[in-house]
Structures are given as structure tokens and as C-alpha cells.
Amino acid sequence: MPRVALVTGGNRGIGQGITRRLLADGFAVSILATREEPADVLAELRELGEVRYVRGDVADQGDHERYVQDAVGAWGRLDVLVNNAGVGPTVRADLLDADAESFDRVLGINLRGPYFLTQAFARAVIALRGPLDAPPESPVATIVNVSSISATTVSTNRGEYCVSKAGVAMATQLWAARLAPEGIVVYEVRPGVISTDMTAGARPKYDALFAAGLAPMPRWGRAADVGGAVGMLVAGATPYSTGEIFHVDGGMHIARL
């Protein structure tokens, strides 16, 4: 029986890069996404391994249990949750002009949804695992939260996105502390500027910023770069670490003079 990973938004962009890496590493992957099932994408992914697709919204708490139990029903186990699905504001607006509707939408998807999906996943893992006689030396399960360099880097024309990712960073610490005694480790992967359909419209801006020295590695990141980080963290090679942040940003987070 393969190890089982849940990847929200795993059908496109960074999420698809993560799905591909996990399939290559032998995981069965269940994807949660809002769009109608993309037959062409799934056919390609299924050539790499076992894939299930659950249509639902990470912002809808009612979809969480359905998503988790679909994987349990199919495979009988849970090993990894990757909270990847996220959105930016529909319209980038200055802090003085931004509206509450956009704030609520972005935080609902980027922060509230993953927070409570983590709760549902952890409860299911604990139920499947049964009582512990002692804390396990190897993780029972791993949770990876995909945040962003925006957790600490200010963009005043998309404040709701920055706030949501800063919240993900704190949620990672909270869940890491709470779940460690349960044998569940929690990590944060913090991408920088990654080439996806979400960032395509800003390519001229970031091309210029990279040329001006935005990051020590002067190139766009790839979805596969993020997938590699997730693959490393869920491999079980760091059983005495939790709550860690792994940057995938070409060194952008390094303070430089």
C-alpha cells in the first residue's frame, strides 16, 4: 500500500509541481480543487501513479471531512497533508482603498481553510493510529503548509494576501507544538517568486526586479523547486524537527547590504 498524500490545489501551478514530486516518490495523491475535474491533467498525472480528485473548496469547512474520508475510504491510511491551495486578491488595491470582501475571501481560502483542514486531517490520523504508549521516534504523519515570502515581505497593494501568509506562519507554529506529542510533524515551505499562471501577469515586473538584484539567484523559481522541498520534508529524514521554515526563494529572504 503506497503512502497517501492530500494536496490542496494539486492540479495546477505550485500544487501540480508538488503532486508530481510526490507521485515520483511513490505516494498516492488525492487532490482537492474547486474546478471541474481536468481530465487531460489527471490522465497525465495518473501515468505517474495513483491519483484521486475531489471537487471542493478548502474555504468550505463542510468539504474537509468529505475530502479526508474519501482518501481513507480509498486507501485506508493518511500520511501527508500539503496545504497548498491559495489565492491573491482579485484586484490589487492600496491599503487605504481595499475592501472587507476581498480580505474575507483571501483569508478564508489561504488561512481559515487550511487551519481547519489541518484539524480534520489530524483528528483522522489520530483515529487511524490509535492510542500511543509513548511518543513515536518516527513521524506518524507530516503536514506541510505552503506560505509565501509575503509572510514577512510587505506589498501594500495586496495587504490581505500578506496577512494571510503571516497567519499561515503562525498556524504552522501552533499546529507543530500541538501535534508533536501525537507524532505529527508540521513544516512551512515559503516560496519566493515562482513561475505559475498566478504570476504570469507580473512577469515584466519581476524580470526587471531579478535583473536589479532581487535575489542572489537571479531567476524565477519553478513549481518543481517547491515540489522538491516538500518531497524532502515528507521523506521522514528529519524526525526530530518540527515547526521549521524552508525557503524556496533563491535566497530572497537573506538581508543584504
pLDDT at 53: 98
Question: Would you say the C-alpha torsion 9, 56, 53, 66 has a positive or negative sign?
Answer: positive
Nearest CA to 254 out of 182, 172, 149, 162 is that of 149
Q: What is the pLDDT of residue 49?
A: 98
CATH superfamily of 4-248: NAD(P)-binding Rossmann-like Domain (3.40.50.720)
Model pLDDT, residue 64: 98
- Residues 83 and 207: their CA atoms lie apart, in Å, by 28
Domain boundaries, the chain: 4-248
Cβ-based neighbours of 30, under 8 Å, separated by 6 or more: 4, 5, 6, 7, 51, 52, 53, 54, 67, 70, 71, 74
The confidence band for 10, taking pLDDT boundaries of 50, 70 and 90, is very high
Q: What is the mean pLDDT of residues 64-92?
A: 97
Of 53, 115, 161, 187, the active-site residue reads: 161
| Whether 206 is catalytic | no
Q: Is the pLDDT of residue 137 over 90?
A: no
Residue 79 has pLDDT above 90, yes or no: yes
pLDDT tens digits for range 138-190: 999 999 999 999 999 999 999 999 999 999 999 999 999 999 999 999 999 99
**Cβ count near 111 (within 10 Å):** 24
Which three three-digit cell numbers place residue 185?
510533524
Q: Is the pTM of this model over 0.85?
A: yes
Q: Which residues pair with 4 in a beta bridge?
A: 28
pLDDT of residue 87: 95
